[in-house]
Amino acid sequence: MLIASFPNQCEDRYTTLLSPDGSWLAESCTSGDFLVLKRDGTSKIDVSYDKLFGNVDQVCASASPLHWTRDNRYLYFIRDEGCWESPPWHHLAVNYMGSVFKLDTQTGTWSIFIENDGLDFYSFSPTERRVIQGSGSNLYLHDLKTGDEQSISLNDYVDIGAVVWSPDGLAFAFAAQKSIDPISDPYDYKYSVFLYNIQNQKLKSIITDSLDRRVPQEWTADGILLIPLADYSNDPILGQTLYYNINTLSFVTATPIP
């Protein structure tokens, strides 16, 4: 197997992420350490647990690979916080995504990139110019070139996510949900899909408060957004996809494959 060919791997791991050219492997070890390995065995970068979290008695958090740059040089990774309560260890006392770090494979060094806590997800644009942070009903859009930040707040919604970028990285779609009745039935939801244009900072609702669970899946090069019906794991259900034309801002029928 491709990943199995890398030397010096940890015995057990949570997650792995290959660089675009397959020459580097990042892996989150169950021991708490975070390894970045070169396939030919000439480099092993060990981001130890102590360096990320301090010298503590209990391994209760980890680092996870987030994004490789297209030139295979830089790796972004997340410091995940997740500490158990004192014995009998039945409940998580803290569980959230923490700060983002940027690692340089040429120098073997890393530094903090985004300092934040309590986030739900990150998403990099295909051009690597921007990154989205999601937390609760808020999205934060960072321009990595200028340092500018835009924020989007959807106060009535929770669990914002399923971000899909346009190929040019200048717009994105995402899903959000809100409770039908927050008091009597807080776990019964309505689902919406939004479109955000970065250049004019306009937010448009494509699907509003539907009882069908739909999430954006793909933004094609010719400007068609695929929005399938999804199960509760956000996996698409075959044959139940809507097609939205970004250019005409309307739903269209699928184009048959010749």
Instruction: Write the secondary structure of 189-241 as one string of H (helix), E (strand) and C (coil).
Output: EEEEEEEEECCCCEEEEEEEEECCCECCCEECCCCEEEEEEECCCCCEEEEEE
**Between residues 52 and 242, the one the model is more confident about:** 242
For residue 67, pLDDT beyond 80: yes
Q: Does residue 33 belong to any structural domain of this protein?
A: yes
The pTM score is 0.79
Q: Does residue 169 belong to any structural domain of this protein?
A: yes
Q: Does residue 232 belong to any structural domain of this protein?
A: no
Binned at pLDDT 50, 70 and 90, residue 90 comes out as: very low
Q: Does residue 249 belong to any structural domain of this protein?
A: no
For residue 17, pLDDT beyond 90: yes
Average pLDDT over every residue of 122-139: 90
Q: Does residue 36 belong to any structural domain of this protein?
A: yes
| Strand pairing report for 130-135 and 138-143 | antiparallel
How high is the pLDDT of residue 258?
42
In the chain, the number of structural domains is 1
Q: Token pair 């309505």 is at which residue?
A: 190
| Spatial separation of the C-alpha atoms in residues 111 and 106, rounded to whole Å | 14
| CA 96, chain centre distance (Å) | 13
Q: Does residue 184 belong to any structural domain of this protein?
A: yes
| Spatial separation of the C-alpha atoms in residues 225 and 218, rounded to whole Å | 6
For residue 82, pLDDT beyond 90: no
162-194 tens-digit pLDDT: 899 999 999 999 999 888 776 666 567 889 999
**What is the number of other CB atoms lying within 10 angstroms of the CB of residue 238?**
8
How high is the pLDDT of residue 84?
47
For residue 255, pLDDT beyond 70: no
Q: Does residue 246 belong to any structural domain of this protein?
A: no
If residue 52 lies in a helix (H) or strand (E), which one and from where to where? Answer: helix 49-53
Domain that holds residue 18: 3-212
Q: Does residue 241 belong to any structural domain of this protein?
A: no
Half-sphere exposure of 255 (CA within 13 A, CB side): 9
**CATH code for the domain in which residue 82 is found:** 2.130.10.10
For residue 85, pLDDT beyond 60: no
How high is the pLDDT of residue 183?
62
